[in-house]
A = this chain, B = another copy of it.
Amino acid sequence: MIDKLVVVGVGLIGGSLALDLKHAGLVRRVVGIGRSPENMARALQLQVIDEATSDYAAAADADLVLIATPVGQMGRVMAGLAPVLGPHTIVTDAGSTKRDVAALYRQHLPDHLPRCLPAHPIAGSDLSGASAARYGLYQDRHVVLCPLAETAPATVELVGRLWQSCGARLVQLSTEEHDAVFASVSHLPHLLAFSYVNGVLDRPHAEASFELASTGFRDFTRIAGSHAEMWRDIALANRVPLLAELSAFEARLTALRAALEAADGAALHELFERASAARQRWGKHSGL
């Protein structure tokens, strides 16, 4: 049971956690910190939060602060929290990259690290403000916890227990592992899909191609419709692991090209069969 939860950035991610924790009776009071008066008014009206402010002093006596803003704003938020934070307050976040956020904790809250826990709940990225918050968002979703070397076990336990109470499944990774995994299964596919669509646009037969594209194209390129600014920030924040994933993929294409140039049916079949079997296993296992 927590007396005071402060959510910085009251949108889908932070708002949904607040709703679930209040519903479960695990938090007495939720204070939202945000810069948009309209969004804060909406959050109050929907009872996602109990109080709204733009003053970081509200975090002084909080049990837990969740930073749920875009990663690009987290440095500024931590700088605002640093002078006011009480010694017992736990700070966690919901950023989609973790090495850079860990560095921000070290930079802005160097004396507070035992109570800091970088984390990443894997749930929709449609961050459309407080009205997007909803009960049950985290049911059966993964939450990745990336404790720093300095993070106290009690910090990991408290934050972990709260996420679990929302139905989430905990996974613990180092910040490096986290960023490599998401470079591999999320960031690289986005960059490939963007690049692929740009490629089709510039081919001589582009018009007929878009006209005749069907369901395979639709699914393969869905993530290419994503928000350019958000993905620029993610690509920059995670560029080192992403470059490693890109290199590994380019090596794959080189092997594919060799098999295709040689018209090597056996090699092509082996490549396709291995991927097809793995993707079918994943589909069954993931339930997605």
Contact A220 B223, CB 8 Å, known A256-B191, A275-B195, A278-B201: yes
Copies in the complex: 2
**Contact check: which of B185, B226, B227, B271 meets A217 at CB < 8 Å?**
B185
A280 partner residues in chain B, CB cutoff 8 A: 225
Interface of A is mostly: helix
Q: Are A184 and B203 in contact (CB under 8 A)?
A: yes
Interface string of A162-173 (1 = CB under 8 A from B): 000000000101
Stretch at the interface among A44-52, A75-83, A109-117, A235-243: A235-243
Stretch at the interface among A8-16, A63-71, A129-137, A174-182: A174-182
**Contact check: which of B220, B221, B236, B253 meets A263 at CB < 8 Å?**
B236
A72 to B92, CA, bound (A): 58
A283 interfacial by beta-carbon distance below 8 Å: yes
A283 to B218, CA, bound (A): 8
**Contact check: which of B209, B249, B265 meets A236 at CB < 8 Å?**
B265
